[in-house]
Chain A
Amino acid sequence: MRNPYLPLPMKLVKNFTETSDKLIHTFTLEYLNEQDAESFQYEPGQFAELMVYGKGEAPFGIASSPTEKGILKFSVAKVGVVSNALHMLEEGTIVGVRGPLGNSYPLEQLKGKSLTIIGGGFAFTTLRSTIQYILDPANRGDYGDLTVIYGARNPGLLLYKDELAAWDARSDINLITTIDREVEGWNGRVGFIPTVTKEVAPKTDYAIICGPPVMIKFTMPVLVECGFTPDRIIMSLENRMKCGIGMCGRCNVGSKYVCKDGPVFTKAQLDQLPNEY
């Protein structure tokens, strides 16, 4: 019997301060040996429990893409026990990883389809994974047009700035970044995600959306207006979790456990469930 509670030790190779407010760090982890990399097979959208020895573990979306071999990346906001401990770790420390957990974005089903990805704030982690995956030369041909709308309160709070610049330079991705209020030196758009989404009026086959509850709430009607049917709007939930394997009972929405049956659901699926997320 494999014990699903035991973490896999990994080495923290980079602790990078991602945002100007210093509240989000991106952690790059390396496997300690080859077999571990082999056994940790994941897909964009999945998450893992990240453990600081002596402090505990907490669930975080996997921000790296399976196409980035040999490493895992997580971007973590500093909010509590584990996240604070992570932020203070020195490079070279061993941390624990338990996963991959949960389902993933339906990338198989999305093949041949055009896609709009909408992200707000720091809920951009598994979206980064998805974009990196699709943009990989081995996969790009499998997918149609890719539009990405990504917003944050101010430019300093956007994650993955180098990658955003690289994506912006490419012709096979339509990247729209936006910030809440005008600041000097900003060349992208200004405005909240729902408004910007309305302006862009994406006409793709599917949409994936991740962000704070208010953003989701106001963007949803815009997507419906743009013609997306509920089965073509894909979302990822963030209920409080512990076990991540459907046993501890913490993360349920109706009879579904977000950790195991999700975190990825279509709007059509969520419309069938009680509004407890």
Chain B
Amino acid sequence: MIVSKNEIANLLTQLAETYRVIAPVKKDGMLQYAAIKNGEQACLDDANTKKPGKEILFPQSEELFNYTISAEGIRMQDNVDKEATVVFGMRPCDVKSLVLLDNVFQNDQYTDVYYLTRRANTIIVGLGCAQPAATCFCSSVGCGPFAKEGSDIFLTDLGEAYVIEGISDKGKELLAKLSLAEAGAEQKAAAAKLQAEVTADGSINIEGLAEKLGGMFEHPFWESLHEKCIGCGACTYLCPTCHCFDIADEAKDCDGCRVRNWDACMFPLFTLHGSGHNPRTGGKARWRQRLMHKFNYFVDRYNATACVGCGRCIKNCPVNLDIRQALADVRALD
């Protein structure tokens, strides 16, 4: 199917009548995901959003449930968000990150109802990247500028129009309701050509990396890697695959609410034991955890690399500690 660019705003406005539509918008000079009512607000031409797509299903701060305490006892109110949602124009790396997070938020014993409910009620419209940024290396980590994994519907930008493909049943069903024009053979061919040709490898090669890292826990390499890191949360909070969180109780506008907030292994308090003992004492152990988790532990546990090559950590690190360089350095070790 095909939609010309000047019709896309209308399409979104129409979708917004039935769904909560979340799309990238320009706000405060940054591209950010936001719920929109009017399709004109969407900005599909810029590169990727500042904050990663995970925030839609796994917000930075989220009230899980609240409770009131009274003479009759305790009443708990669960805040599961069930609203039918369309996320429009998510880049393939962020879409892939959701596929990875699915592994985390549901295991053989437990289901994170907050994430999973949103996930089940969300249709993802992926948007291919005709012009990957210099910091992108998705093609090297099992994703790619036109990777469709995880998208329910997929858009390919032909300049004047988007070629639209239904990928999952959920996506095809939605498309069936929209009465869009069929794409011509030429347009389909142009889309296929783009999809086949555009890559973003960032000169990274992670073949054999997980195994290599597996034997490297005690390697002197970690001594220097972290040295310039100032230990902030930029690389993890802005990473689409980082899923660590904290749970706390707050009493605001209610007797109490249980909230969860993003947290990260780059902070010393993350692992501090009740006894005062801290198994990860310094930057060395923390950077090792970050790299190991993404490229070894996650692979071990879920058989996938927990990096989608979006480049956010590279762009946002205040000291330019570049994960691509770290990976290349590991590769160069014998």
Direct contact of A and B (CB under 8 A): yes
Whether the pair B280, A248 counts as a contact (CB closer than 8 A) is no
Task: Tell me whether A9 and B273 are in contact (CB under 8 A).
Answer: no
B221 within 8 Å of A (CB atoms): no
Q: Within 8 Å of chain B (Cβ to Cβ): is A185?
A: no
Q: Given the known inter-chain contacts A94-B74, A255-B296, A276-B285, please indicate yes or no for A248 contacting B110, CB distance below 8 A.
A: no
Min CB gap B130→A, angstroms = 34
Pick out which of these stretches binds chain B: A50-58, A64-72, A129-137.
A50-58
- Is there a chain A Cβ closer than 8 Å to B111's Cβ? yes
Complex partner residue of A248 from B67, B109, B246, CB under 8 angstroms: B246
Of B23-31, B251-259, B307-315, B318-326, the segment with at least 4 beta carbons within 8 Å of chain A is B251-259
Q: Which of B116, B255, B273 neighbours the largest number of chain A CB atoms within 10 Å of its CB?
A: B273
**A74 nearest CB across to chain B (Å):** 14
Contacting pair A255 B297 (CB below 8 A): yes
Per-residue CB contact flags for chain B residues 72-87 toward chain A (1 = under 8 Å, else 0) read 0110101010000000
Chain A residues lying within 8 Å of B301, measured Cβ to Cβ, are 255
Query: Shortest CB–CB separation between residue A177 and chain B, in angstroms?
Result: 22
A245 proximal to B (CB < 8 A): yes
Is B46 located at the chain interface by the 8 A CB criterion? no
Interface size on B, residues (CB 8 A): 53
With a cutoff of 8 Å between Cβ atoms, the chain B residues found around residue A53 in the complex are 67, 69, 74, 255-256
Q: Besides A247-B112, A276-B289, 16 other CB < 8 A contacts? A: A2-B113, A3-B80, A3-B113, A77-B274, A238-B275, A239-B273, A243-B245, A243-B247, A245-B112, A246-B107, A247-B105, A248-B263, A249-B104, A249-B293, A250-B244, A250-B270
B interface residues, Cβ below 8 angstroms from A: 64-65, 67, 69, 73-74, 76, 78, 80, 104-105, 107, 109-114, 116-117, 217, 243-249, 251, 255-256, 258, 260, 263, 265, 270-275, 277, 279-280, 285, 289, 292-293, 296-298, 300-301
The list of the 10 closest CB pairs from A to B, nearest first, reads A249-B244, A255-B300, A255-B297, A56-B249, A245-B110, A54-B256, A4-B110, A276-B279, A274-B217, A3-B113
